[in-house]
Amino acid sequence: MRRNRWALPILVAIASTAGAAVHLHEGQLFTSARKILIKDRWTPVPMHTDDHYVYEGVEKQLVKRGFKEVDSCSMDSSRCILYYKRGQECLRVDTIGEQLAVMKIEQWSRECPDAPPKTAE
């Protein structure tokens, strides 16, 4: 069976109409993913700068190491939510892992930190 050499460019063009591609994959180490995001001009969004939020556990460790984009981390499963912005685009990145060296990407979405919660359909 002969492959259609135009299939990939068409898919890329379709993907680009919904916003620029995000170069992440599930299971990717967070530190590697963050470097790629910053290289792709995604800017970490500093969270809790004016609301006197008290960081705990993994959150506290991330903030101490300069990861100001951390919104929150669950205490029971070490899932963290971090936010990035590029122009008018937002990116929410969810990670899992108790230590920075082993934190991995779990999922991501085009969600802004100040967006209202999504309602179930």
Please indicate, yes or no, if residue 116 is contained in any of the structural domains. no
Please indicate, yes or no, if residue 118 is contained in any of the structural domains. no
Please indicate, yes or no, if residue 121 is contained in any of the structural domains. no
Mean pLDDT for 14-35 is 79
Query: Percentage of the chain with pLDDT > 70?
Result: 78
Mean pLDDT for 6-34 is 67
Please indicate, yes or no, if residue 5 is contained in any of the structural domains. no
Half-sphere exposure of 33 (CA within 13 A, CB side): 27
- The predicted pLDDT at position 6 comes to 47
- The predicted pLDDT at position 17 comes to 35
- The predicted pLDDT at position 19 comes to 59
Domain around 31: 23-109
- The predicted pLDDT at position 51 comes to 87
Q: Is residue 13 over pLDDT 50? A: no
Task: Give the chain's domain count.
Answer: 1
Please indicate, yes or no, if residue 68 is contained in any of the structural domains. yes
Please report which residue ranges of 1-121 form alpha helices under DSSP H: 7-17, 30-39, 57-64
Please indicate, yes or no, if residue 66 is contained in any of the structural domains. yes
Strands 104-109 vs 89-96: parallel, antiparallel or unpaired = antiparallel
Please indicate, yes or no, if residue 3 is contained in any of the structural domains. no
Please indicate, yes or no, if residue 61 is contained in any of the structural domains. yes
Q: Looking up tokens 């470097």, which residue turns up?
A: 35
